[in-house]
Amino acid sequence: MKKKKAQIIPWNAIIAKLDGDFSAADEQLFAEWIAIEGNSKLFADYTQLWEDARNKTASLVPDTSYYWSELKRKMAAGEQQSAITIRTKRRHRLFRMCAEVAAIGLLFIFIRSMVHTNDMPQPTTVSYTNQQGKSMVVLPDESTVWLHDNSQLSFTDNPASHERIATLSGEAFFEVSHNKKAPFIVVANGLHIKVYGTKFNVNALPGAKEVHVSLQEGSVAVYTADNAKESHLKPGETATYDTDNRSVSVTPTDLDASLWTKEKVVVEQRSLRDVCRILSSWYNVKIEPDATIADVYFYTFTLEHETLDDALQILAYLHPLNYHKENEQHIFIYPGPN
């Protein structure tokens, strides 16, 4: 059987054609090569592979000049020839041909440098910010999160470690979709909350000395970066993390963890102490009552669109008290004139 003559492949021109940077000289070389029988099909294969790789790794910008110089270096060290030849017989599939011919290494160094990053699914991160009021977002895993005033949340889904990581600054109410194979973990001011498919609230205001986790449904466990011992919560319990001494305490609570996500708040015969907790949650601030009046005054009212100042004025109108704002996030309530 007569042996086919080896053909010289103009790789510079082919790569230029694929990359869209095509000179007149490249065009002539490419036209001569593509006219040879079988090369149109081969180039179609190259083009498809090139486009597939680019689509899968759009964020990667390969240094093709580097790969080309590396290819030439390997060629010189190998067969010490300037012409690159391939056998056209029995080379119908691009992958097999690349394994046989060093020249196609240019294309595959480029392709594999991109596709290798897709051999294992890469982490994806999305971020959310709520400056004012409250807003609900749906995470890529279909979990829902309510974000309070001045709250930021980033969510990373990492298939490699089989974890879903949410990092929170501020306050958020989570309703997490259950996935036993991909644990959901919230990180807030040094506290880690491992979630088992549940509804819970996390209050981790920037600069605050405490982080509060209140469980409404399901189960969560809390732990710190330097202490892996988990504290498990039951519905109706709140975990408090002291950021100074890095301790965690768990106490019962009767406060609705999702209170602030609702359209209105209804207070019926609640003590000033309870009202301050409710308003703290509703307005995402810390309101502290003086101990001498905390359990003396009781209130019944409804809030919907009122501002924080409106609410404080309602309290002062119904009972003799005053309030002082240490800052926009910390308010003291103390006895007023009778």
Residue 241 inside a domain? The answer is yes
DSSP-derived letter for residue 206 is T
Asked whether residue 151 falls in the same domain as residue 63, the answer is no
Residue 257 inside a domain? The answer is no
Residue 272 inside a domain? The answer is yes
**CATH number for position 268:** 3.55.50.30
Asked whether residue 204 falls in the same domain as residue 323, the answer is no
Identify the domain containing residue 164 by its residue range: 124-252
Give pTM, 2 decimals. Answer: 0.60
Separation of alpha carbons 87 and 231, rounded Å:
67
Asked whether residue 50 falls in the same domain as residue 94, the answer is yes
Residue 142 inside a domain? The answer is yes
| Structural domain count of the chain | 3
Asked whether residue 163 falls in the same domain as residue 186, the answer is yes
Residue 258 inside a domain? The answer is no
For 273-314, the pLDDT digits (tens) are 999 989 988 888 889 999 999 999 999 999 988 889 999 999
For 41-86, the pLDDT digits (tens) are 878 877 777 676 556 544 444 455 544 554 445 445 544 433 333 3
pLDDT at 177: 83
Separation of alpha carbons 238 and 255, rounded Å:
9
**CATH number for position 181:** 2.60.120.1440
Are 147 and 128 within 8 A, CB to CB?
A: yes
Written as one letter, the residue type at 89 is K
Neighbouring residues of 205: CB distance < 8 A, sequence distance ≥ 6: 170, 171, 284, 286, 329
Residue 2 inside a domain? The answer is no
Asked whether residue 27 falls in the same domain as residue 84, the answer is yes
Helices (H), 23-104: 24-34, 39-56, 64-78, 94-100
| Residues counted in the chain | 338
